[in-house]
Amino acid sequence: MNNMMLNLSVSVTNSFPLDADGPEILGIDLTKEFNKIIRDVLDAKEYGKIGVVFTAIRKIRYMEDVRLENEYSGIKECIFSGIKSALIQLISIAKHFFNTIDSKTRVELWSSPKIQKIMNILKQYKTKVNTNDELCGLIFVQTQSDAYCLFDIVKEWISSNSEFDFIHPALIVGSVNPKQVAKFERITKYVQKEIIQRFRDKEINVIITTSILEEGIDIPSCGLVVRVDPLTSYVSMIQSMGRARRDNALYYVLTAEEEVLKTESTVEKFDKVKEDLKDHLIKRMTSLQLQ
């Protein structure tokens, strides 16, 4: 399984004759499509083997939609056939291992430490159901593909372990690129508004999302905000922290062990920016009062 993941792009590349037609025939759009599918599957390794498998399944569904909506021939047909064949092979290998262990053990073993941490963070709210501190949280990821993948994994944890059955997750990713998501999985603006309302009504208690929910959309004050990916900007940090407005709210930034010092340094820099801005505003207000 590990070798299959590491060599996925090589396997796909070897399944069609690039040299026969030359890269100029592929065109930049085709190259982007090809690279996007492979990159999303390989990037899902950060969530563990289960992330790779779920992303591969979603990409196959997307590719089946592509076939229905477009007629491809020649090199493009070879590319998509090659990618799909490699993904199907990967899923087949995974199913072999899936069938040897129970679902609870499987989801725990095949999830990365990052996923384990996320689920442990959520688990602490099990004893707070129907209290003022009950779960009301946002989990921020960097890309739409990450959001779909994490959503699938969280649902798998819930279905395989009753300890997590108090979690009612949903997904909001903003405007979905039709070139990345299967037709039946695309979330309309109407559905996203419905999810926000159900979040207000406490029918949903966790939303997995991208930067789309950092600002601009009215949602309840949250007691938990988790950033799965590294901090990228001061504005992004402040906006996501602003969602954790409930009393005793918790704000987490998940980072790899080797990136801890770098993340701490980034937070210190952002804190300094915050203090500098605060000092500037105080001086500005004082100056205006003296005029």
Which tokens hold the place of 109? 């073993």
Supply the pTM of this predicted model: 0.79
Q: How many other C-beta atoms are found inside a 10 Å radius of the C-beta of residue 60?
A: 18
pLDDT at 139: 97
pLDDT beyond 80 at 3: no
Which tokens hold the place of 136? 């009301």
Q: How many other C-beta atoms are found inside a 10 Å radius of the C-beta of residue 133?
A: 16
Q: 280 vs 56, which has greater pLDDT?
A: 56
Burial of 186-221, coded b for 16+ CB within 10 Å and e otherwise, reads ebeeeebeebbeebeeeebbbbbbbbbbbeeeeeee
- The pLDDT tens digits of the residues spanning 118-173 come to 999 999 999 998 888 899 999 999 988 899 999 999 999 999 999 999 999 999 98
The percent of residues in the chain predicted with pLDDT above 90, rounded, is 33
pLDDT at 159: 95
- The pLDDT tens digits of the residues spanning 180-213 come to 555 556 667 778 889 999 999 999 999 999 988 8
Range with lowest mean pLDDT among 19-23, 56-60, 214-218, 249-253: 19-23
β-bridge mates for residue 137, sequence order = 206, 224
- The pLDDT tens digits of the residues spanning 250-284 come to 999 888 766 666 666 776 776 776 676 666 566 66
Q: Mean pLDDT over residues 203-224, rounded?
A: 90
Helix, strand, or coil here: 243? coil
Burial of 163-173, coded b for 16+ CB within 10 Å and e otherwise, reads ebebbebbbbb
Query: What single letter denotes the amino acid at residue 177?
Result: N
- Categorize the per-residue pLDDT at 18 as very low, low, confident or very high, splitting at 50, 70 and 90: very low
Residues 6+ apart with CB under 8 A from 192: 172, 174
